[in-house]
Structure 1
Amino acid sequence: MVAVLLLVLTWGRDLPGGIVALVTLVLAASVLAAVHHAEVVAHRVGEPFGSLVLAVAVTVIEVALIVTLMIDGGDQSATLARDTVFAAVMITVNGILGISLLVGSLRHGTAVFNSEGTGAALATVATLATLSLVLPTFTTSKPGPEFSTVQLTFAAVSSLVLYGLFVATQTVRHRDYFLPVVRQGETAKPEEHAPAPSTRTAMISLGLLGLALIGVVGLAKGVSPTIESGVEAAGLGHSVVGVIIALLVLLPETIAAVRAARRNQVQTSMNLALGSAMASIGLTIPAVALASLWLTGPLVLGLGNTHMVLLALTMVVGALTVVPGRATPLQGGVHLVLLAAYLELAINP
């Protein structure tokens, strides 16, 4: 609530250095609050619903932030949706997944998860990323790495359909594919020492989770001018701003995923990582397609050659990681190196 109050007081204002420092501290506290309330809700509803709640909540607010910045930015925001979505995919699939595998395997010998559910999630992410971010580079109906209106509509509808199918698979028909396991084929036992919170407590935490996420994203937008100034002063590309904002927004999911990995619930970490990547594409593309009806500037979605290579390598490595259903620190390290390569190329294209 402090974060939301500070957001109201600072929204749309030029912030001096001292206020930026205060906003940053409250932003960090809001991230921790979001993780706490998400875990309360997750404990009440169980997996895989808990990880779905956090992934969707963060993504919905992230989408609202992207559309708001596109409306304010004019032609300069033509690549904003693409850069933000791709940053989210690389951070989740390589960063969150990689650090979760590394923590889980170092602490418990090997990180064990369900290859059926995780493989289905990765396949969906790969399809969504290719349809939305790769194909626009090669289509010819419109000049530049852009979709025509018909193509953009198809991509938006396809994204919603695939995301809806995945959620139905994860929560209804094949829920057991997404439950934590401690070894191949054995479902993790619930923690008896931690009774589930009451419905009232869970509902309060759900409301406070929404407030915390609004605070995280809104305050991140508030400090973005300072970040932009720092990026420009350092002579870095404008896409670095999107990477920094994405890192801030995805902090709650990162912390929650690492905590789950430490408890030997790596499947929960995988649900968070891949679910966030999927929601980022599946909800952002339809939202920006709808927003393009009244936005006058171009909407550039197609990736450049370097980013397409990184995306392809990420998906190939991800598939090889997922197939065995267990991972060592090596697999986690490989994904983290891919994230480091993406960040280095964002700074030094």
Structure 2
Amino acid sequence: MVRLLLPILIGLVALVSIEFSGVMAWLLVQPTSIVLAGLALLSGVVLVLSKSVANQADRVSELIGQPYGTLVLTAAVMTIELALVASTMLTGESNPTLARDSMFSVVMIALTGVTGICNVLAAVRRGTLGSDGQVDTSQMAAPNLLGALTYWDLISTMCVLALVIPNFSRSTTEANFSTPVNAVLSVVAFGVYAIFLTAQMGRYRSLYTERESLIVGVGGGGEALETLEAENNDNDLSLWKAALLLVAGLLVVCLIAESMGQLIETGITDLGLPSSLAGVLVAMLILAPEALNAIQAASAGEVQRSINTLYGSVVATVSLTVPAVLVLGGITGTDVILGLEPFEMVLLALTLILSYPHARLTGIEGLMKLVIFLFWILLQVA
């Protein structure tokens, strides 16, 4: 237990040092090299914590099964992300593109960078040769296609409605809808996500489990389910410990990442880079636990679990962030801009096209996603 608590304790020490000592103020006035060294050290702490969170998410997944395991991780991350966005809107400087930039960063990091890595890892692990020297397609990595297609339908629809269509709205002069249309969009986004979760946890649960488990379990599904339930009962205490460690680790990760924002902005300014890159780096740090969990799953050959983690995060981000920021914007009188810039719309369109699920993974689709991610980062820097 001490070993499991150690990463959280390290993170708490780092967080206390940032918030309640003069370390941050001292770092902010130091030369660029020292600022970057501080960033590297704190990023290392975040990665250690993220690794711990990913391990706890694996434990929860083993105990409660899929897709519930990844839903726990997604729910915890989304709660903290929404809290950070809300606190920034309520206490920070007015930034009408905050929600848009946050959502788009999550979409691009999850669907291009991390998914690209997962696709390549899964394909390399499972792309074995048959006895005739040819690739055995039946052994290639593959998602549960119907579940993956459902994710894609939701992501493509909500991304276009929330991030593209506002640019063509005739009801306002900015890239946003009128209040009545925003109300409809909010209700639709929240309602669609609620229906999706109900289906995912209910009658369509099998669409979000690994293909191999469904094939293996055809003959003895009832017995396997009874065994799983018995294991869950025997490990109830372990489940709660893993869930508490998961949430605690996530909370510390996100608080450190948010506290690092000022340090990141200072480093970027000293290097002469665009300020928009700061939001991207913070989003990467916040998504690190989910990214590591998805990469671990792909490395173990669990393609659908990596999809559940990454695509589920994107669906939750777009479906829940939009209603939250529109309501907060209306309450506080803060302007909210949803529409993306032209080059971002093109990148989003290309990302959605390449995100269409493949029946089998070769690794090429993952490489192309990584190419898009590379150019997105370059355009943030340029």
TM exceeding 0.5: yes
Q: CA deviation at 1:147?
A: 2.5
In 1, the alpha carbon distance for the partners of 2:103 and 2:321 equals 7
Counterpart of 1:263 in structure 2 is 300
- Decide which structure has the larger Cα Rg and report it: 2
The code of the aligned residue for 1:214 comes to L
Specify which of 309, 312, 317 is matched with residue 280 of structure 1: 317
Q: CA deviation at 1:294?
A: 3.2
Counterpart of 1:344 in structure 2 is 378
In 1, the alpha carbon distance for the partners of 2:20 and 2:341 equals 33
For the Cα contact (< 8 Å) 1:27–1:216, is it kept in 2? Answer: yes
Q: CA deviation at 1:182?
A: 3.6
Counterpart of 2:215 in structure 1 is 186
Q: Which runs of 5+ in 2 are unaligned?
A: 1-7, 28-33, 128-139
Once the two structures are overlaid, the 10-residue window that deviates more, 259-268 or 196-205, is 196-205
Cα root mean square deviation, aligned: 2.3
For the Cα contact (< 8 Å) 1:178–1:271, is it kept in 2? Answer: yes
Report Cα offsets for 1:81-120 as digits up to 9, x if no partner: 1001001011111122211110010111132111111011
Q: CA deviation at 1:295?
A: 2.6
Counterparts of 1:82-93 in structure 2, within 5 Å, are: 82-93=100-111
- 1:315 has 2:352 as partner: yes
Report Cα offsets for 1:325-344 as digits up to 9, x if no partner: 21101111111111112111
Q: CA deviation at 1:32?
A: 1.6
For the Cα contact (< 8 Å) 1:159–1:283, is it kept in 2? Answer: yes
Q: CA deviation at 1:236?
A: 2.4
Counterparts of 1:1-349 in structure 2, within 5 Å, are: 1-2=8-9, 3-4=11-12, 6-8=14-16, 10-11=18-19, 15=24, 16-17=26-27, 23-75=42-94, 77-109=95-127, 110-182=140-212, 186=215, 198-319=235-356, 322=357, 324-348=358-382
Q: Taking structure 1 as the reference length, what is the TM-score of the superposition?
A: 0.90
Q: CA deviation at 1:204?
A: 1.6
Q: CA deviation at 1:283?
A: 1.4
Residues 344 and 22 of structure 1, relative CA distance in 2, 3 Å threshold? closer
Once the two structures are overlaid, the 10-residue window that deviates more, 288-297 or 264-273, is 288-297
Residue aligned with 2:173, SS: coil
The code of the aligned residue for 1:186 comes to I
The code of the aligned residue for 2:199 comes to T
**Percent of aligned pairs sharing the same letter:** 30
In 2, the alpha carbon distance for the partners of 1:229 and 1:296 equals 30
Residues 22 and 113 of structure 1, relative CA distance in 2, 3 Å threshold? closer
In 1, the alpha carbon distance for the partners of 2:20 and 2:338 equals 28
Report Cα offsets for 1:210-240 as digits up to 9, x if no partner: 1111111110011110101122223322221
In 2, the alpha carbon distance for the partners of 1:42 and 1:284 equals 25
Q: Taking structure 2 as the reference length, what is the TM-score of the superposition?
A: 0.83
Once the two structures are overlaid, the 10-residue window that deviates more, 280-289 or 16-25, is 16-25
Q: CA deviation at 1:250?
A: 0.9
In 1, the alpha carbon distance for the partners of 2:215 and 2:292 equals 25
Residues 261 and 346 of structure 1, relative CA distance in 2, 3 Å threshold? same
Report Cα offsets for 1:252-297 as digits up to 9, x if no partner: 1111111111211101111111101001111111111221133333
In 2, the alpha carbon distance for the partners of 1:93 and 1:210 equals 24
Once the two structures are overlaid, the 10-residue window that deviates more, 223-232 or 174-183, is 174-183
For the Cα contact (< 8 Å) 1:4–1:211, is it kept in 2? Answer: no
In 2, the alpha carbon distance for the partners of 1:231 and 1:6 equals 21
In 2, the alpha carbon distance for the partners of 1:6 and 1:296 equals 36
Report Cα offsets for 1:192-214 as digits up to 9, x if no partner: 9xx76711111122122111111
Residues 339 and 31 of structure 1, relative CA distance in 2, 3 Å threshold? same
Report Cα offsets for 1:130-157 as digits up to 9, x if no partner: 1111121111212111232222222211
Residues 172 and 33 of structure 1, relative CA distance in 2, 3 Å threshold? same
For the Cα contact (< 8 Å) 2:57–2:246, is it kept in 1? Answer: yes
